[in-house]
Structure 1
Amino acid sequence: MQARRKLYLAAACAGLFVLVVVVATAAVVWATGADASGGGWSTEGRIFVLVMFTLAASGGAYLVIAASYARYVNAPLRMAEDLAAMTAHSGLRLAEPATPELRALGQAANQLLAARDALEHDVAERVREARASLEEERSRLAALMADLSQSVVVCNLDGRVLLYNQRAKQELSAGSDGSHGELLGLGRSIYTVFDRALLEHALERLQSASRDESGAERKKLLGSAQFVTATRAGRLMRAHMSPVLGRDGQPGAQVAGLSITGFVLVLDDVTSTNERHARRDALIQSLIEGGRGPLGSLRAASEMLSDFSDMQPQQRDRFLGVIRDEARALSDQFEKAAAAFSNDLRERWLLEEILGAELVEVAARRIAERGNGGQRKLAVKPENIDEGLWLRVDSFGLLQALSYLALRLQDEYEVREVRLSLKRSGHLAQLDLYWMGTFLNNESAMVWLQDPMNIGGENSPLSVVDVIERCNGEIWFQRERVSHRAFFRTMLPAAEAPSDRPQTIVSAAEGERPEFYDFDIFRWSAGSHELDDRPLAELSYTVFDTETTGLEPSAGDEIIQIGATRIVNRRLLRHEYFDQLVDPKRPLSQQSVKVHGITRELLSGQPVITTVLPTFHAFCADTVLVGHNAAFDMRFLQMKERQTGLRFDHPVLDTLLLSAVLQPNQNTHRLEAIAERLGVSVFGRHTALGDAMVTGEVFLKMLPLLADMGITTLRQAREASERTYHARLRY
């Protein structure tokens, strides 16, 4: 009030000053004017002088009023906007104002903010302690989900994904051309991955099963639904769908007082199994078709020999030759079939992919532990280990075989040291167990390899040869007299190194755990809302940014990088992102290179925009787009609609416009300035993904401020943005 009174006093003084100057000037001009005979100022001259003095006085008064307005009105308004942002986010403080009155007010506000932060810190500590056990359980769940060999996806009734594991991310995000696209993500629709009609039919079967029974029997008989479907990459998946039951009152089939709130999909890749079965069926069919002729000839020849015992020797020999030839042909056919199907028979045993160095390390430790139990010690030394070699083996059986051979050497030949080596030999892996000095004869070695294994008093029905054949390998004994070395050499198929190993799950406190689950999505129901009337807090967002060759899309400038991340349930999902360089097929200006640092060499060999946009369009599916100065980026996307056949007709929110809505009295709405006002750290600036991450953090900070202004739905946010001055910008 005191500042406002000072402003009113300054305006009144300025007006009085103008009035005094005008009256004084008029008096002087008219007093010094000439008489009727002439020789003095004319009437026009007097009026001109009076007008000039009036304008000068008015200009001075305007400057006084403008300075007073900026000092006593605009400054408090900016302070109010800053204070509104700081009340929603802790750790921020008002800058020291210029005027003494506002300085005292700012100090008092900062004291209140400090007290508020202290209380929030105390509450946060208590909440953190209360959530410790919950976070531990979540970490365990995340670790278990990451290690599962099956793909697991949990969805609500609308098909929104609320949990998935790393295996599902790998298997379900591959495109038909083998490319990798983020099709699976929290809050996204499972119907972008699988056929909607198929899943809805399976879900309907679950719900109808729940309606057909009653009470405890209903819950018992609810069971699950199974079906086979295909991914976009053409992989066959056997799906097992089970219901998720809850008491949250959501609509759905009722089961013993519980409602079906979602479903769990457990997926197995049965592509190789299906192919193996197809080969088996084709082989059986070929044996049937190919065996009819020889069997018919054998039968006819044998009947002739049986029925005509007095047959001439020459004729008998001819029939015997037919039997011999047809039997040989039939035998050859069966041998070929057995050889062709032998690999499929071996594949029935579960094999695992393991890093060879890890297997050797475990084998050395296990042999040493079992061999050092008695008086004689057994040393094990790994040597010449290929650290990057992967194997596909039955690791448990192979460890048993190596331990068995090493312990027999220790017990029967008093060998004190064995060595293990692993290296690549063509497309195979060569694993050697060798020792120095003591020789083993070939007969004993063959017996060791073919006898059932006995390790520490534990008998196994398998021999070493059985285990190695199960791994599709081969083993033999060999001696080198010159080097006084003997060894068991095992040749095993080498496996390809996994392209994407499951990520390690860490505690939530470290902030590095992938966001693979969000159970709050159970409460979402898109069917009950139109998108425009949905609360902002319930929507899923794709926050994106582009880097370009220049600033004029209509003049031929092109996109050279697209970066995007997702916001689901008011959380920025840093592990679900899109980041792709694009070859623009045109030169880059030096000015743009100085801004984003992307050179022609970095873009060489990258996909063109018509290849990138379909994948990005799929990433944005069923979300609201968010960008900073989004009109610029959207113009580039919209200019490619005719070329790609894709329409980016998603709802769009612009943090630049929302900043103008929230803080209309600020001098700038650049991304860095907004981030500083809201306490967001800026990193990776002028990279598409870095800017998208910062924009996402800024947008999340804006949501509670918009709610304080009564802007809670998408429609309200868009209408408020359209009323700002910056919404008039066009590209």
Structure 2
Amino acid sequence: MTPSKDRTVPFLRRIRVRLIISLVLISVIPFLIISAAILSSLPEGTAPDVMTPIYVMGVFLGLFCAFVAWQLAEKFTEPIDEIRHGAEIIARINLSHRISVKTGDELESLARDFNDMAHALEGAYSELEDRVRQVTLNLQEEKSRLATVLRTMVEGVVAVNEVGEIILMNPRARSVLAGGPEFGVGSPLNRLLPKGRVDYHMRRLRAAWEEGRDGVEHVIFPLPGGKLLKGVMAAMPGPGGERAGFLLAFRDVTEEAEREKQIETALRTLPTRLKSPMTSVQSIAQIIETHKNLSEEKQKAFVCALRSEVESCLVQLQEGEKAEARMPSSHWQGQPTDAKGLVEEALAAIPGVYAHFQPPEGPLPPVAVEPYGCILAMSSVLRWLAANSTGWNPVEATLEAEEDMVVATFRLAGSQGPSPEGMESMLVEQQGEEQITIAEAVKRNRGEIWTRVSEGSFEVRFGMVRASRMPQAESGVRIFDDQPDFYDFDLFLARSGAEVRETLERDLKDLEIVVFDTETTGLRPLKGDRVVSLSAVRIRKGKIVQAGDFHTLVNPQIPIPKESTLFHGLTDVMVKDAPSIAEVYKSFGQYIGGAVLVAHNAAFDMKFLEIAARENELPQVDNPVLDTLFLSYGVHGDLPGHNLDSIAERLGVTIEGRHTSDGDARATAEIFVRLLPLLEARGVRTLGQAKAFCDRNLILRWQASRF
């Protein structure tokens, strides 16, 4: 239902004003005509004496007529206003609302007709709802089955929107990534995983999508503390075939990687452990061979010692065979990649380095690497070469195919080069990842790195194995093409991060909004009352986000009065182990980000947050704030009741959990969403207009409260 552009009626066209003017004119004009007739019939010279009482009578008559006209207009227009507001609520928000007009005339009949129409529409809508409910139940059943699959998967699954904000996270992913309440739905993925890797793979997937390729990226995320995640990432199509986001599926392979390291250590130390018994075998064999005249007793002793050492060698070899049999590939999972693109990305990652890349003349075979780790290693080598150059000659980069490898050569001309010993042990540093050496990074990619001096130039050669030399398939997480769309992805559009002025000019329905509510120990924050519960709900694109709510109890560090407990049900025992307001305030700040805040009677809640920030030396919340109290007053100022219960009843909102912060926050969010079309009908569309609307109605309500 499309709202009218502006429901504000010009002053002189209002029924009340026109009715008052008409009644006053009807009453005063005959008096003026009679007065003029009397004046024209009076003899000359007597007019001034007669006109004075006539003027007085005229003034009193005009005032009396205006007063009577005002009262009649009020009586006449009051039911019209009731019908107008009721019709608007029925048409836009609540079909079960009924207009109550008791005038005994045509206006009451008109109200009855409106109510009959609303009843008929409600019946038709109810029938439609029944059909939709049945379809929804079927979809919900399918969704529940798929949700069960997600819940029981050993792989973590995360879906993000086009700008990388999480819209779905299964329990396995949540447990592996171990985020708090501020790291749920709506949080950027690159706050949970290394930012550089996330951005890199999303950039590659976007490029593949634009080229019409159905790209799938094999991803690896090394995290601080030695944790390692492996998986795949793919672009996710929307209902219209457009790219709507990205899907990441991964496994925590930390234990496997640690086991691989232990097995690899066992195999590497095997020669050392065999050295001692083999040396003993060799010595005994030489003694027997040299001293052939040994007594039989001594020969038996040497043979026994020889047998013991051989058995020891066999034990060590058997342990090595077992370790080798258990050992999977210790390399990171690679994917076919263009070597030329890797070198170009590495050069682009260090813009301050004086370097020149001479691309190969012909095509090169793809290489099997984990691309982002390979790029980090190359850029570290380039940075090391540049740091050891005179600055006059560029670092030259070339590519060529050699046997089973594609080799990138980084040449520093006119130099014998620095000492290569420190290069392989140099750390490849990347924020949010485990630090490893260049040698380890190359090894994980099955590559080789070495240096040489050729024709007066120092070279670092970076070998990458050809993809054709690798097995056709490697074990890992898979994403199947027939995976169904089972979640509503209308929430893919994210906040833009615009400047304040641009934000004020944005449509309310396009803003990221957080609706919040608090429960407290009392109503006097300046007298020591404090927060005991804080909850928040997100609204995006004019819709309430059904997941990722913020809710926590708060330890106020003062006793909760009994009268407050009767109000919200929270006791000292319930909040005893809850976090302090300082901890909650920080988490709440991360949750809201740059969103617009909405509350009912917002000044009350904001005052508690202001005091919490001041007492704990934390930054104040400076987000834009809207208040449903003044939005409702501006829309329905001539209707009684603007507390949360009255507004909810008028707009058809059911409050579940009244006087709990999470219940009231969700009810306030529902009210705000239902006020949006009413505000739009009054010309209030942008954030700036809504703030001005709140400010204007705050003053009007304050003035009305004084009389």
Q: TM-score, normalised by structure 2?
A: 0.59
Which of 221, 234, 251 is residue 228 of structure 1 equivalent to?
Answer: 221
Q: Deviations over 1:654-704 (max 9, x none)?
A: 211221232222333211111011111223111111111211221221122
Q: 1:262 and 2:211 equivalent?
A: no
Q: 1:567 and 2:539 equivalent?
A: yes
Q: For 2:508 and 2:28, locate their aligned partners in 1 and report how far apart those are by CA, in whole Å.
A: 49
Where 1:244 maps in the other structure, the secondary structure is strand
Which of 90, 96, 108 is residue 86 of structure 1 equivalent to?
Answer: 90
Q: What amino acid maps onto 2:248 in structure 1? A: L
Q: For 1:651 and 1:644, locate their aligned partners in 2 and report how far apart those are by CA, in whole Å.
A: 21
Alignment of 1:492-507 (within 5 A): none
Q: For 1:584 and 1:528, locate their aligned partners in 2 and report how far apart those are by CA, in whole Å.
A: 36
Q: Could you tell me which residue of structure 1 aligns to residue 629 of structure 2?
A: 656
C-alpha displacement at 1:721, in angstroms? 1.9
Change (3 A) 1:677 1:284: same
Q: Could you tell me which residue of structure 1 aligns to residue 202 of structure 2?
A: 203
Q: For 1:265 and 1:83, locate their aligned partners in 2 and report how far apart those are by CA, in whole Å.
A: 49
Q: Could you tell me which residue of structure 1 aligns to residue 262 of structure 2?
A: 279
Say if 1:86 and 1:678, in contact at 8 Å, map to a contact too. Answer: no
Where 2:120 maps in the other structure, the secondary structure is helix
Change (3 A) 1:724 1:196: farther
Alignment of 1:139-154 (within 5 A): 141-154=146-159
Q: Could you tell me which residue of structure 1 aligns to residue 673 of structure 2?
A: 700
Which of 152, 161, 165 is residue 166 of structure 2 equivalent to?
Answer: 161
Q: For 1:527 and 1:646, locate their aligned partners in 2 and report how far apart those are by CA, in whole Å.
A: 20
Q: Deviations over 1:567-606 (max 9, x none)?
A: 3444434553333211111122344233222222222222
Q: For 1:287 and 1:241, locate their aligned partners in 2 and report how far apart those are by CA, in whole Å.
A: 39
Where 2:548 maps in the other structure, the secondary structure is strand
Alignment of 1:661-672 (within 5 A): 661-672=634-645
Q: Deviations over 1:360-380 (max 9, x none)?
A: xxxxxxxxxxxxxxxxxxxxx
Q: For 1:719 and 1:300, locate their aligned partners in 2 and report how far apart those are by CA, in whole Å.
A: 97
C-alpha displacement at 1:243, in angstroms? 2.0
Change (3 A) 1:75 1:336: farther
Change (3 A) 1:108 1:229: farther
Q: Could you tell me which residue of structure 2 aligns to residue 238 of structure 1?
A: 230
Q: For 1:717 and 1:294, locate their aligned partners in 2 and report how far apart those are by CA, in whole Å.
A: 86
Q: For 2:158 and 2:18, locate their aligned partners in 1 and report how far apart those are by CA, in whole Å.
A: 65
Q: For 1:58 and 1:183, locate their aligned partners in 2 and report how far apart those are by CA, in whole Å.
A: 70
Q: For 1:93 and 1:276, locate their aligned partners in 2 and report how far apart those are by CA, in whole Å.
A: 67
Q: 1:521 and 2:491 equivalent?
A: yes
Where 1:219 maps in the other structure, the secondary structure is coil
Q: Deviations over 1:176-235 (max 9, x none)?
A: xxxx425221x5433343333321101222344567xx7xxx636x3424222449x985
Q: Could you tell me which residue of structure 2 aligns to residue 605 of structure 1?
A: 577
Q: 1:615 and 2:587 equivalent?
A: yes
Change (3 A) 1:636 1:728: farther
Q: For 2:23 and 2:71, locate their aligned partners in 1 and report how far apart those are by CA, in whole Å.
A: 10
Say if 1:630 and 1:654, in contact at 8 Å, map to a contact too. Answer: yes
Say if 1:581 and 1:603, in contact at 8 Å, map to a contact too. Answer: yes
Q: Could you tell me which residue of structure 2 aligns to residue 309 of structure 1?
A: 292
Q: For 1:107 and 1:585, locate their aligned partners in 2 and report how far apart those are by CA, in whole Å.
A: 57
Worse-superposed segment, 76-85 or 687-696: 76-85
Q: What amino acid maps onto 1:526 in structure 2? A: S
Q: What amino acid maps onto 2:487 in structure 1? A: Y
C-alpha displacement at 1:546, in angstroms? 0.8
Where 1:92 maps in the other structure, the secondary structure is coil
Alignment of 1:66-81 (within 5 A): 71-73=75-77, 76-81=80-85
Where 1:576 maps in the other structure, the secondary structure is coil
Q: Could you tell me which residue of structure 2 aligns to residue 97 of structure 1?
A: 101
Say if 1:657 and 1:726, in contact at 8 Å, map to a contact too. Answer: no
Say if 2:193 and 2:223, in contact at 8 Å, map to a contact too. Answer: yes
Change (3 A) 1:683 1:124: closer
Unaligned runs of 5+ in 2: 1-13, 30-59, 329-484, 703-707
Change (3 A) 1:68 1:687: farther
Alignment of 1:549-564 (within 5 A): 549-564=521-536
Change (3 A) 1:644 1:273: farther
Q: Deviations over 1:306-346 (max 9, x none)?
A: 4443457898788678768867877898999999x89x999
Q: For 2:109 and 2:632, locate their aligned partners in 1 and report how far apart those are by CA, in whole Å.
A: 27
Where 1:724 maps in the other structure, the secondary structure is helix
Say if 2:520 and 2:529, in contact at 8 Å, map to a contact too. Answer: yes
Where 2:263 maps in the other structure, the secondary structure is helix
Q: What amino acid maps onto 1:120 in structure 2? A: Y
Say if 1:82 and 1:677, in contact at 8 Å, map to a contact too. Answer: no
Change (3 A) 1:246 1:59: closer
Change (3 A) 1:9 1:525: closer
Q: For 1:304 and 1:209, locate their aligned partners in 2 and report how far apart those are by CA, in whole Å.
A: 71
Alignment of 1:101-500 (within 5 A): 101=105, 102-121=107-126, 123-124=128-129, 138=143, 141-172=146-177, 174-175=178-179, 180-185=180-185, 187-209=186-208, 219=213, 222-230=215-223, 235-245=227-237, 260-285=243-268, 287-310=270-293
Q: 1:676 and 2:649 equivalent?
A: yes
Q: For 2:203 and 2:65, locate their aligned partners in 1 and report how far apart those are by CA, in whole Å.
A: 78
C-alpha displacement at 1:136, in angstroms? 6.2
Q: 1:580 and 2:552 equivalent?
A: yes
Q: For 2:699 and 2:576, locate their aligned partners in 1 and report how far apart those are by CA, in whole Å.
A: 37
Q: Could you tell me which residue of structure 2 aligns to residue 355 of structure 1?
A: none
Change (3 A) 1:559 1:246: closer
Change (3 A) 1:87 1:639: same
Q: For 1:718 and 1:234, locate their aligned partners in 2 and report how far apart those are by CA, in whole Å.
A: 49
Q: For 1:11 and 1:236, locate their aligned partners in 2 and report how far apart those are by CA, in whole Å.
A: 86
Alignment of 1:53-72 (within 5 A): 71-72=75-76
Where 1:653 maps in the other structure, the secondary structure is strand
Q: For 2:635 and 2:226, locate their aligned partners in 1 and report how far apart those are by CA, in whole Å.
A: 49
Q: For 1:726 and 1:149, locate their aligned partners in 2 and report how far apart those are by CA, in whole Å.
A: 58
Q: For 2:66 and 2:274, locate their aligned partners in 1 and report how far apart those are by CA, in whole Å.
A: 110
Q: What amino acid maps onto 2:625 in structure 1? A: V
C-alpha displacement at 1:547, in angstroms? 0.9
Q: Could you tell me which residue of structure 1 aligns to residue 399 of structure 2?
A: none
Q: For 1:593 and 1:262, locate their aligned partners in 2 and report how far apart those are by CA, in whole Å.
A: 45
Where 1:550 maps in the other structure, the secondary structure is coil
Q: What amino acid maps onto 2:693 in structure 1? A: A
C-alpha displacement at 1:627, in angstroms? 1.6
Where 1:721 maps in the other structure, the secondary structure is helix
Alignment of 1:685-696 (within 5 A): 685-696=658-669
Q: For 2:605 and 2:253, locate their aligned partners in 1 and report how far apart those are by CA, in whole Å.
A: 43
Q: For 1:528 and 1:550, locate their aligned partners in 2 and report how far apart those are by CA, in whole Å.
A: 38
Q: What amino acid maps onto 1:630 in structure 2? A: A
C-alpha displacement at 1:241, in angstroms? 0.9
* Percent identity of paired positions between Structure 1 and Structure 2: 29
Q: For 2:611 and 2:275, locate their aligned partners in 1 and report how far apart those are by CA, in whole Å.
A: 67
Q: For 1:69 and 1:234, locate their aligned partners in 2 and report how far apart those are by CA, in whole Å.
A: 79
Q: What amino acid maps onto 2:252 in structure 1? A: D
Q: What amino acid maps onto 1:626 in structure 2? A: V
